Amino acid sequence: MTWSAPELPPLDREAAAELRRIVDGKAKPPGALGRLEDIAVQLGAIQGRVDPSAERATVLLFAGDHGLTEDGVSAYPREVTGAMVRLILDGRASVNALARAVGAEVRVIDAGVACSLPPHPLLQASKIREGTRNAAREAAMSADECAQALECGAQAARAAVEAGAEVIALGEMGIGNTASASLLLHRLGPAPLADCIGLGAGHDEAGLARKHRALSTAAERCDAQGPFEVLRQFGGLEIAGMAGATLAAAAMRRPVVIDGFISTAAVLVAARLQPRVLDYCIFGHSSAERAHRLMLERLGAQPLLDLGLRLGEGTGAVLALPILKAAAAMAREVASLAEVLGQA
């Protein structure tokens, strides 16, 4: 199959200007609520309304395995991916606890886990293949597989919106996916490869050296530059899924809250395919994975939180959701200064 990035609607500048006027006229000094005011205006511009809402949020958690694990890029075996997906579907992972705390729904998309998963009401079974190929030796995906992964993400976003989601949050699970994200940053940032590689999930110095060797081999194997080809050569099925979901959510005028290093790599791909998508993205946090800050700089993104998180699963995006709710509630519910003065 072939896949093309959707055309995205421009932000509603009239709604943004009117909402900025409304927010500035609230019973407070202009700008006193800082970035909360900017988020409210961004939500209104995305949704095309002056009474923005962020009450119903769905976490789309994409899962897939990586052939690069054959070369020791992760401290954990790839079997952990399937085990963690089962834990998430059981509702007992970190993302589940945080999502319950903030009132968000979690849905899992199996884009390429290297094992069979039993049917589950919260699971979208979209397995394209059981993990990518080893990008140090060959392309991670065929063009058709990459297109399928992008489309499976788009389908997940469309289904969530049809079910009533006002906000989409991104999450992922995939052993070895920091290696893939490092290669994407290297080519699409662009940035020197050495600056793009971090410890990932628990590497020691020997493991980090193995990761450097494997990723150097992968980068030397192929000189791909275009976003689709870079994604095909070095990406993950779950990363492609998140890129497709981001673009589809933006096409439906939904804000997308981004998690950490891996999710941001997917947005990097999406932004190189369709730059306007960044208007629809809100970056939840700055990860402790060292290359995440570099990736955020390349995208001109300013994250909301910095809590030293490096788990993934969408946890940082989930923790940012109450800020969006608060921004929307402020825009809708706070009295205007004119009302206050009229009552004096």
Nearest to 320 by CA among 238, 260, 236: 260
Residues in the chain: 344
Q: Distance (Å, rounded) from C-alpha 80 to C-alpha 89?
A: 14
Q: Which of 7, 130, 313, 339 is catalytic?
A: 313
Nearest to 132 by CA among 143, 122, 140: 140
Q: Distance (Å, rounded) from C-alpha 100 to C-alpha 258?
A: 18
Q: What is the pLDDT of residues 226-237, one digit of tens each?
A: 999 999 999 999
Q: What is the pLDDT of residues 53-89, one digit of tens each?
A: 999 999 999 999 999 999 989 888 999 999 999 999 9
Q: How many CB atoms lie within 10 A of CB 18?
A: 15
Which are the contacts of 43, defined by CB distance < 8 A and separation ≥ 6?
52, 53, 54, 255, 324, 327, 328, 331
Q: Distance (Å, rounded) from C-alpha 292 to C-alpha 197?
A: 10
Q: Distance (Å, rounded) from C-alpha 39 to C-alpha 237?
A: 31
Q: Distance (Å, rounded) from C-alpha 48 to C-alpha 42?
A: 10
Q: Distance (Å, rounded) from C-alpha 334 to C-alpha 331?
A: 6
Among the residues of the chain, which ranges form H helices?
A: 13-24, 35-47, 79-89, 94-102, 143-162, 177-188, 193-196, 205-221, 227-234, 237-251, 261-273, 291-299, 315-333, 337-343
Q: What is the pLDDT of residues 88-103, one digit of tens each?
A: 999 999 999 999 999 9
Q: How many CA atoms lie within 13 A of 172 on its CB side?
A: 35
Q: Distance (Å, rounded) from C-alpha 239 to C-alpha 233?
A: 12
Q: What is the pLDDT of residues 168-186, one digit of tens each?
A: 999 999 999 999 999 999 9
Q: What is the pLDDT of residues 153-169, one digit of tens each?
A: 999 999 999 999 999 99
What domains lie within the chain, and their CATH numbers?
13-52+329-343 (1.10.1610.10), 57-323 (3.40.50.10210)
Q: Helix 261-273 and helix 237-251: axis angle, to 10°?
A: 60
CB contact at 8 A, 168 and 155: no
- In this prediction the pTM is 0.96
Confidence band, pLDDT 50/70/90 cuts, at residue 265: very high
Confidence band, pLDDT 50/70/90 cuts, at residue 3: confident
The fraction of the chain above a pLDDT of 70, given in percent, is 98
- pLDDT at residue 203 greater than cutoff 70: no
- Residue 179 CA to its chain's centroid (Å): 16
pLDDT score of 186: 98
CB contact at 8 A, 103 and 166: no
Confidence band, pLDDT 50/70/90 cuts, at residue 192: very high
Confidence band, pLDDT 50/70/90 cuts, at residue 344: low
Among the residues of 134-236, which ranges form H helices?
A: 143-162, 177-188, 193-196, 205-221, 227-234
Annotated active-site residue 313? The verdict is yes
